[in-house]
Homo-oligomer: A and B are copies of this chain.
Amino acid sequence: MLDRIDPPVREHAAGSLDPLFSPASIAVLGASADPLKIGGRPIKFLKAHGYGGTILPVNPRGGEVQGLPALRSVAELPLGVDHAVVALPASAVLEAAQACADRGVKAMTVFSAGFAEIGPEGAAMQARLSALARESGMRIIGPNCMGVMNFRIGMIASFAFMVDLGLPRLGRTALVSQSGAFGGQALVMARRRGLPLGAWVTTGNECDVEMADCLAHFARDDQTDVIMGYMEGCRSPDRLVHALALARERGKRVVMVKAGSSDVGRAAAQSHTGALAGNDRVFDSLFRQYGVHRADSIESFFDAAYAAGSGKRITEGRVGVFTVSGGVGVLMADVAEQEKLDMAPLPQPAQDELRAMLPLAAVRNPVDGTAQIWSDMELFRRFLRTMLREGRYEAVVFFLTAMPYSPPLQQPLAEIFADLRREFPDPALVLSMLAPQALQDELADHGYLLIEDASRAIRALSALRALSQPSPGPADLASLPHVPHFPALEAANEHAAKDVLARVGIPVPPERAVAGIDDACAAASELGYPVALKVLSQDIVHKSEAGGVALDIADEAGLRQAWAAMRESVARAAPRARIEGMLVAPMAPAGVEMILGVQRDPVFGPVVMVGMGGIYAELLDDVSLRIAPVDAEGAMSMVRGLKAFALLDGARGRPRADLDALVRAIVRLSVFAHRHADRIESIDINPFRVFEAGRGAAALDAVLLTRDPEDGGHA
């Protein structure tokens, strides 16, 4: 029984990761004199990149290792070393880790493979490592990981040979990857794309330190503005929620890539990450709730993080586009519209001013200087100044083709754009061009974003806009209504399920369960015709298909006829079903058909769902999810997230639906599901009909399935 609702922002009990990322001393276990070996590379990298702390190679042979005196065993380490790097065979790791813990080592990075990823034996070894971490308080990252880098202090505790290809520029973005393979790739990509990084970490098998812990670490880190996360699955949902809430609270920009949105993808993710995958849509919803931008490709992951690193904000989405090729301007406008950015036209006087300078230019937005603008660079300068001054855009993309390769243009371009940046420090400015590297570097130093492809430039701004929006964040627990607790919740027929819902505060029609036709007639005259008649049986889930629903019954004769017909058709369709009676209900007023539900997610527990009803909506799968509990703001953002929200909001002259009633029902259902998380398998309210604004809503049908909290199976 869950009676208490925990706030998501709370500290994880285990120790800080500071010794891991900012150690004053690093021991290297399995230190090698060969700088190409796994035990040699960290020492080489630490020395080469100016790590200023103490490096302590440990090698049973002693002597010198890459010019440093080696200790013969962990026992020789000084007490309280911050960080130990383990480059030993798997079989030697546990003993070494125990020895480190005994010497008070604060954190450890285990490169060694051969643990849970190779099968049950390895998993058992890994479990002992986890236990050691838990008991000793020594934090362990890995095993089977590529290590940790803090570029700010030259702390390269990794054996990734990609370090030899050169490090990325130094910046305020931290990259956290569960995959070592991706981590190595990301290092190269960051350098090649000019994405500045401050820290880099791969978490591997996560015997102790999880990705979520690293996210939380960087959420707290004052030298980090942007956090990039490459996620394959989630071991501890509470730690993840905590980390995301913390990052949101501290105003960090979080960009994540997490695969697994498709059916094949889900299957592959499951085989890859086991039960850590959960329902991908729940991750999606969680990310939206905490303002995390989710990228759908590696490229857009880098583009979004790169744009986020500019520190610029796009709140309204006002974007200006300057182009020297009309068609590409139009292409960018197309993408901007898909991304719901606002390509607001320049004010008329500014348009007139630009047209006076260059009669053939398109001056609305996109602004097309045409090829002619290259013939006079002073005109070019005045033209762009006017556009930036008068447009007051939050972001401007300049599409310049390959013309910046033209030798006589390079110097003027460098000067003009440097001056523009000085004069207009606020907007995000993006150059989409093919240009010599030197010119690109110079303009990047002036604070321009360089994104070669025009469409990707617009999408990166869209990501920046998403990252600049307020997110709902954790539910406001104080605002949640009280719902009763049902100590013996059980699977129930429609009538009993609706009874539970009614007690939870979800509106249901005033309907009567009856055993015989005379009771039915009495109920109907009391409720008033027309009525609906429905069979009541736990064994019949699809009532309509079994002939168990009759609507719009006009009078008693009709009711008697429907009763008889229904008994017959149900008996034919479901001969073994136990019939518990019939339900007589007044016909509900017209409204928008919705679906409300709860599903149990293997990772996150009860998840509440709202969707549009009707077969069209079902085909398009128009639903929003959120981890329970959900407050009113969260519920409203779920409803607004529906593709067909306009149908509820009075589209095309239809009456506006009672959104308040819908939101209340979502909130109450979510609190109910959260309180009974261990008992509820699923709830399906279909349809939940929402009447005109002010007239409420009603659960017209409901199915409640429970589970045994002990064995995890259905009750």
Note all chain B residues with C-beta closer than 8 A to A96: none
Proximity string of chain A (328-356) to chain B, C-beta cutoff 8 Å, 1 when within and 0 when not: 11110111111000010000000000000
B334-A259 in contact (CB<8A) = yes
Find chain B residues with CB under 8 A from A336 CB: 262, 264
Q: Check if A702 is an interface residue, CB within 8 A of chain B.
A: no
Provide the bound-state CA to CA distance between A269 and B329, in Å.
Answer: 9
- The reply to whether B327 and A454 contact each other, CB–CB distance below 8 Å, is no
Residues of B within 8 A of A192 (CB): 434
Q: Could you tell me which residues of chain A, from 253 to 271, have a CB within 8 Å of some CB in chain B? A: 257-265, 267-269, 271
**A410–B505 alpha-carbon span in the complex (Å):** 67
| Docked complex: A281-315 residues within 8 A CB-CB of B | 296-299
**Could you tell me which residues of chain A, from 521 to 551, have a CB within 8 Å of some CB in chain B?**
545
Those of A478-512 within 8 Å (CB) of chain B: none
Listed stretches A14-22, A401-409, A675-683; interface member:
A401-409
A25 to B410 Cα, complex, angstroms: 36
Q: Which of A112-120, A388-396, A632-640 contacts B (4 or more CB under 8 A)?
A: A112-120
CB contacts (< 8 Å) of A331 on chain B: these are: 257, 259, 265, 296-298
A330 and B272 form a contact (CB under 8 A): yes
- Complex Cα distance A402/B370, Å? 40
Minimal Cβ-Cβ distance residue in B for A363? B271
- Shortest C-beta distance, A429 to chain B (Å), equals 20
Q: How many residues in A have their beta carbons less than 8 Å from beta carbons of B?
A: 92
CB-CB contacts below 8 Å: A636-670 with B: 643-644, 646-647, 651-654
Q: Return chain B residues, CB-CB under 8 Å to A424.
A: none
- A456 and B299: CB pair below 8 A? yes
Contact with B along A229-259 (1 / 0, CB 8 A): 0111000000000000000000000000111
Contacting residue for A402 out of B187, B406, B614, CB 8 A = B187
B651 with A262: CB separation less than 8 A:
no
A268 contacts B325, C-beta separation under 8 Å: no
Contact B615 A652 (CB under 8 A): yes
CA distance A272 to B326 in the complex (A): 6
Interface contact B296-A455, CB-CB below 8 Å:
yes
> Which residues of A from 166 to 194 have beta carbons under 8 Å from B?
178-182, 184-185, 187-189, 192
Chain A, 603-632, CB within 8 A of any chain B CB: 612, 614-620
Interface of A, helix, strand, loop or mixed by DSSP: helix
Does A616 lie within 8 Å of B618, measured CB to CB? no
Q: Are A181's CB and B371's CB within 8 A?
A: yes
Decide yes or no whether A689 CB sits under 8 A from chain B: no
The answer for the CA separation of A161 and B371 in the assembled complex, in Å, is 14
| Interface pair B335/A297, CB less than 8 Å apart | yes
- Shortest distance from the beta carbon of A573 to any chain B beta carbon, whole Å: 14
Determine whether the beta carbon of B360 is less than 8 Å from that of A117: yes
Least CB distance from A346 to B in Å reads 13
Q: Is the CB of A259 within 8 A of B327?
A: yes
Interface assignment of A364: CB less than 8 Å from any CB of chain B: yes
> Least Cβ distance of A45 to chain B in Å?
15
- Our pick among B297, B359, B364 for the contact of A268 (Cβ within 8 Å) is B364
Q: Are A644 and B616 in contact (CB under 8 A)?
A: yes
Residue from B343, B434, B616, B618 within 8 A of A188 (CB atoms): B434
| Residues in B whose Cβ lies below 8 Å from that of A261 | 334
Interface residues in A140-183 by Cβ distance below 8 A to B read 161-162, 165, 178-182
How far, in Å, is A263 (CB) from chain B's closest CB?
6
Closest CB of chain B to A24's CB: distance in Å? 31
Q: Which chain B residue lies CB-closest to A646?
A: B619
* CB of A542, distance to nearest CB on chain B (Å): 10
A330 and B268 within 8 A (CB): yes
A325 vs B269: C-alpha distance when bound (angstroms): 11
Quick one: which of A103-132 are within 8 Å of B by CB? 113, 117-119
Indicate which residue in B262, B343, B654 contacts A337 across the interface (CB closer than 8 Å). B262
Name 20 A/B residue pairs within 8 A (Cβ), A-sorted. A119-B359, A162-B402, A182-B327, A231-B327, A232-B330, A259-B330, A259-B334, A262-B336, A265-B330, A268-B329, A272-B326, A297-B331, A297-B454, A297-B455, A299-B455, A616-B617, A616-B647, A619-B651, A620-B620, A620-B644
A residues lining the B interface (CB < 8 Å):
113, 117-119, 161-162, 165, 178-182, 184-185, 187-189, 192, 230-232, 257-265, 267-269, 271-273, 296-299, 324-331, 333-338, 343, 359-360, 362, 364-366, 368, 370-372, 401-403, 405-406, 434, 453-456, 545, 612, 614-620, 643-644, 646-647, 651-654
Q: Identify the 3 closest CB pairs spanning chains A and B, nearest first.
A: A262-B337, A259-B330, A297-B455
Inter-chain pairs besides A184-B401, A296-B455, A616-B617, 19 sampled, C-beta below 8 Å: A118-B360, A161-B405, A162-B405, A181-B371, A188-B405, A232-B327, A258-B327, A259-B329, A259-B330, A263-B337, A265-B331, A268-B330, A272-B326, A272-B330, A272-B362, A297-B335, A298-B331, A299-B453, A620-B620
